[in-house]
Amino acid sequence: MTEIGIGIVGGGYMGKAHAVAMSAVGAVFDTKLRPRLEMVCASTPASAEKYRAAFGFARGTDDWRTLVRDDRVEAVVIAAPQITHREIAETAFALGKPVFCEKPLGASLEDSRAMVAAAEGHVNMSGFNYIRTPASQFARQLIAEGEIGDITWFRGEHTEDFLADPHAPAHWRTQGDANGTMGDLAPHMINAALALIGPIRSLIAEVETVHDSRSGGAVTNDDHAQMMCRFENGTMGQMYFSRISHGRKMGYAYEVTGTKGAIRFDQEDQNALWLYKAEDPEATRGFRKILTGPAHPDYEPFCQGPGHGTGYQDQIIIEARDFLHAIATQAAVWPTFRDGMVVNQIVAAALASSRARAWVDISSF
């Protein structure tokens, strides 16, 4: 067992999640590398000290450069706004340090490509936590093993309602493409589609701002978007992304249809997977609810009781395990920066398609 000093840039929503994950991962998975919470970076000295004391870091700072350049920080987790990702990652890689970066990889496709180039020869990983639930890992396994036959259709959505109220004021989430629905929510479901079905060949999309003015200022990014796509393997697909879907709190959901059956999943019921097998007797043929348990991927380390369930924080702990494994073995663990860049590529293609009101090939981006 070897200690490794972890520095986390950002102490808010995701910064806390990663700090908790790094504190717990060794006990859950008995990892060879045991994280030491060395330093946290926040926007002010006061908030840095608050997060340091709350999460158990040795030190805090309001300058990410101080964190990245510190000798006791041996690996960097980026949980700061997208516009900061590129410079932080490039600086860390120049010092030979492994980097885990929250999605989306960069604030733009240009940023993402530069980050992939900087990551060459270094341990790197992109954060897409939802696809790591035991249920979604099991769905990937069933599809790969041909349990529902050749895949013919995919439908996915990432829908939430945190800006459904048209009277909600303008703030940072309503400014800039990187903070819009295509920059913020769409990457998760695009990542799921790539993980479950494979590369996307072409698409057509509509991206729309429904509430273009809110109290406090104009809205400069998108509220929702829809997309039809064709995967490289011929599968037909469609996706919808929204931050204005009343009643949806974590609407990361998908349905996959094959020649021998189908799979359905909804993150709001993340411990269940629905499976339909066409070969079942007609009298009992229908979607069956499978509750996750120790027989499913990455469940047993958290709980030995089937149906007891895992939660959001557990997804981040699984990511921490994978990042530590990549560092310990110096082997790439999915999703890498390149995988994150492909998601940005598809987002860029969708935005261009919406402007042109036409199908576009992903290879041209």
pLDDT of residue 117: 98
Read off the pLDDT of each residue in 321-342 and give the average, rounded to a whole number. 97
Each residue's pLDDT tens digit, 140-189: 999 999 999 999 999 999 999 999 999 999 999 999 998 999 999 999 99
Per-residue pLDDT for 20 more than 90?
A: yes
pLDDT at 257: 98
Residue 99: helix, strand or coil by DSSP? Answer: strand
| pLDDT value of position 224 | 98
Residue 92, pLDDT score: 98
Q: Is the pLDDT of residue 1 over 90?
A: no
Predicted pLDDT of residue 79: 98
Q: Which tens digit of pLDDT belongs to each residue from 66-125?
A: 999 999 999 999 999 999 999 999 999 999 999 999 999 999 999 999 999 999 999 999
Q: What is the mean pLDDT of residues 211-227?
A: 96
Give the H or E element holding residue 127.
Answer: strand 124-127
User: What pairs with residue 241 in β-bridges?
Assistant: 158, 225
DSSP for 152-163 reads EEEEEEEE--TT
Over residues 181-210, mean pLDDT = 98
Domains of the chain: 2-129 (3.40.50.720), 131-312+343-356 (3.30.360.10)
**CA 342, 187, 119, 123 torsion: positive or negative?**
negative
* Omega before 104 within 30 of 0, i.e. cis: yes
Output the pLDDT for position 223.
Answer: 98
What per-residue confidence (pLDDT) applies to 248?
98
Q: Please report the pLDDT score of residue 44 as a whole number.
A: 97
Whole-number pLDDT of residue 210: 98
Select from 142, 195, 33, 155 the least CA-distant residue to 98.
Answer: 33
Average of per-residue pLDDT across 25-48: 97
Q: What is the pLDDT of residue 193?
A: 98
pLDDT score at 259: 98
Tokens of 121: 């020869």
Tokens 């000093």 -> residue: 5
- Give the pLDDT score at 364: 96
Query: What proportion of the chain, given as a percentage, has pLDDT over 70?
Result: 100
Distance CA 70, CA 172 (A): 30
User: In the structure, what pLDDT confidence band is assigned to residue 42 with cuts at 50, 70 and 90?
Assistant: very high
Instruction: Confirm if 353 and 359 have CB atoms less than 8 A apart.
Output: yes
